[in-house]
Structure 1
Amino acid sequence: MSRSPARDHPARPLGPSSPHPTTYPQFILFGDSITQFSSQVLFASLAEWYSRRLDVVNRGFSGYTAPMGYDILRQFFPSAPSPATSRIQLMTIFFGANDACLPGHPQHVPLAEYQRALRAIISFPGVELHQTECLLITPPPVDEWQLGSSERTAEHTARYAAACREVGREMGLPVLDLWTIFMSKAGWQEGSTGPLIGSKDAARNEVLGKLLNDGLHLTVQGYNLLYEALVRVIRDHLPDHLPEKLPYIFPDWKDKLGIPG
């Protein structure tokens, strides 16, 4: 007969309750459907990597553009740190895939407005009060061969990736250039001429097709590349926020039981 886990150790008297529960700092993944659908790979991998140190929170909103994201930011981002609220330590900002819809589509956002919205998110007062480290992610390329409609093109999306990179340079933020990572995997090189990979004016690209499951959203392989790139960016640009540099929020079990070593 198995013993009850509650009887394995002598009961200890409980100390006085804290007026506020202990909160974990948070790593917010903020973006559109590519973020929302990341739970099985990107979100899970980050949660494992930061286990016991940060809570990874998925704030992905399918169909949202950067201006729509800014509009709801104040509704979930704490205005200031307090004992009762978590400090937002890290945040990825991953918009552009919907903003890059062609003019005339309801989700289309002009380039200048897209950049203004990214700047507004980065400059949000709560972000400054929490001293949140923000990291921009460019929209990935699209594969017109897989898309079921003509509301996006490879060339148009490339302009939004470039605009995202420009905001990162301007504001001194690290940028995870997912567009270039995917395109380089597919054989694209800087300065290439001719039709862009992903365009129907170019030959269908099998590598890009394996990274995007419908021409827009990421496959498991695509999310794995995104996770690996995010780890590299944090190591290179935000080394103080690596898991090994962050303390456990609650002590190790040996420390809890007073076991030396």
Structure 2
Amino acid sequence: MSHSPTQSTSFLHPTSPHPNVYPQLILLGDSITQLSTLTLTARLSEWYSRRLDVINRGFSGYTAPMGHEVLQQFFPADSVPSQTVPRVQLMTIFFGANDACVPGHPQHVPLQRYIASLKDMICHPALKLHDTQVILITPPPVDEYQLGGRDRTAEHTAKYAHAALQVGRECNLPVLDLWTVFMRRAGWTEGSTSALAGSKDAPRSEVLGELLEDGLHLATEGYEVVFCELVKVIEQELPEQTPKRLPMVFPDWKDKLGIQP
């Protein structure tokens, strides 16, 4: 999905005809994204200051099929980057927490449809038009002790996290495997046959209690982990997309005044 700039995308270069249109990083997801305005969104905005506009497009309660539907509405396929239409340079796709509701719940999305919807978003013509680099984020684990009800289970959510990771591998995309990151912090090891942390079949996890605010949504500490891990993914797999490798949209003040270093 990642493409190298060509002459057809010369608007990316600071000497292009439209050098003062900020490229964008869009955070697309459900309520976990929507509620990140003061945490993840703010940290990324600071990190990419003067280089990318960070746009929060989180939709509370949405599933991956709903995400694909709304993507086509706010990101139409004919939106050619121009002097007035900024290029969407990066996009995170972060769905699955609602899709993973147990069958019978109104938000439940069958696993294969969830997978297909992720691929539909990744392959959307608008993203190809903008040469958008996608980063997938898997749904985090849930904590059944905090949730109380049985709408979501640790085991069922794990299937959707693993599916999102597999989609990323099949599509050759960088993936922030948030499920594994949280679970390892909670003491889980790959290949373990023990009950999953977060399940009521396992002892209550103090770590998940700190990372999750209510068993589903992230606490401030959880968002801090997402930011640090996302930065790590970008630095390791997309070094050309780090702030130090991206030009400022407007010149430094010393350049404006002609001051030599």
Q: 2:254 aligned with 1:254, yes or no? A: yes
Cα distance in structure 2, aligned partners of 1:21 and 1:191: 50
Q: Name the SS for the 2:116 alignment partner.
A: helix
Shift of residue 62 of structure 1? 0.3
Distance 1:250 1:169 in 2: 36
Q: 2:45 aligns with which of 38, 44, 47?
A: 47
Q: Which residue of the partner structure matches residue 70 of structure 2?
A: 72
1:59 corresponds in structure 2 to 57
Structure 1 equivalent of residue 155 of structure 2? 155
Q: Which residue of 2 aligns with 1:187?
A: 187
Post-superposition CA distance 1:27-66 (Å, at most 9, x none): 0000000000011111111000000000000000000000
Contact 2:186–2:197 under 8 Å retained in 1: yes
Map of 1:15 onto structure 2: none
Query: What's the offset of the Cα at 1:129?
Result: 0.7
- Please state if 1:204 is matched with 2:186: no
For residues 107 and 251 of structure 2, the distance between their equivalents in structure 1, rounded to whole angstroms, comes to 47
Larger radius of gyration: 1
Unaligned runs of 5+ in 1: 1-18
In 2, the alpha carbon distance for the partners of 1:226 and 1:171 equals 22
2:238 pairs with 1:238: yes
TM-aligned CA deviation for residue 179 of structure 1 = 0.2
| Map of 1:85 onto structure 2 | 85
**How far apart are 1:20 and its partner, in Å?**
8.0
Whichever residue aligns with residue 205 of structure 1, its letter is S
Task: State the partner residue of 1:133.
Answer: 133
Q: How big is the shift at 1:245? A: 0.3
Q: Write the letter of the residue equivalent to 2:201.
A: D
Using the TM superposition, name which of 192-201 and 86-95 deviates more. 192-201
1:173 matched residue in structure 2: 173
Distance in 2 separating the partners of 1:62 and 1:103 = 20
What whole-Å deviation, never above 9, does each CA across 1:87-126 have from its counterpart, x for those lacking one? 0000000000000000001100000000000000000000
Q: Could you say which residue in structure 2 is the equivalent of 1:10?
A: none
Give how far 1:201 is off: 1.0
- Cα offset for 1:85? 0.2
SS state of the match for residue 131, structure 2?
coil
| Identical positions, percent | 65
Tell me the distance in 2 between the aligned counterparts of 1:24 and 1:196. Answer: 43
1:171 alignment partner AA: C
Shift of 1:257: 1.6
Name the Cα RMSD after superposition: 1.3
Paired position in structure 1 for 2:112:
112
SS class of match (1:203): coil
Indicate conservation of the 8 Å contact 1:145/1:204, yes or no. yes
| Alpha-carbon offset, residue 251 of structure 1 | 0.6
Task: State the TM-score, normalized to the length of structure 2.
Answer: 0.91
SS at match of 2:41: helix
Q: Distance in 2 between matches of 1:235 and 1:23?
A: 24
Q: Does residue 1:23 correspond to 2:21, yes or no?
A: yes
> 1 CA distance for matches of 2:76 and 2:248?
23
1:21·1:84 contact (CA, 8 Å) conserved in 2? no
Q: Secondary structure at the match of 2:183?
A: helix
Q: Distance in 2 between matches of 1:78 and 1:101?
A: 29
Residues 187-218 of structure 1, C-alpha deviations (whole Å, 9 max, x = no match):
00001112111001111010111000100000
Match of 1:12 in 2: none
Q: What secondary structure is seen at the aligned counterpart in 2 of 1:161?
A: helix
Structure 1: distance between partners of 2:84 and 2:158: 42
How far residue 260 of structure 1 moved from its aligned partner, in angstroms, is: 2.0
What is the identity, as a one-letter code, of the residue corresponding to 1:141? P
Runs of 4+ in 1 over 3 A off after TM superposition: 19-22
CA distance, structure 1, for counterparts of residue 19 and residue 246 of structure 2: 20
Structure 2 residues not aligned, in runs of 5+ = 1-16
Paired residues of 1:78 and 1:85 also in contact (CA < 8 A): no
TM-score (norm. length: structure 1): 0.91
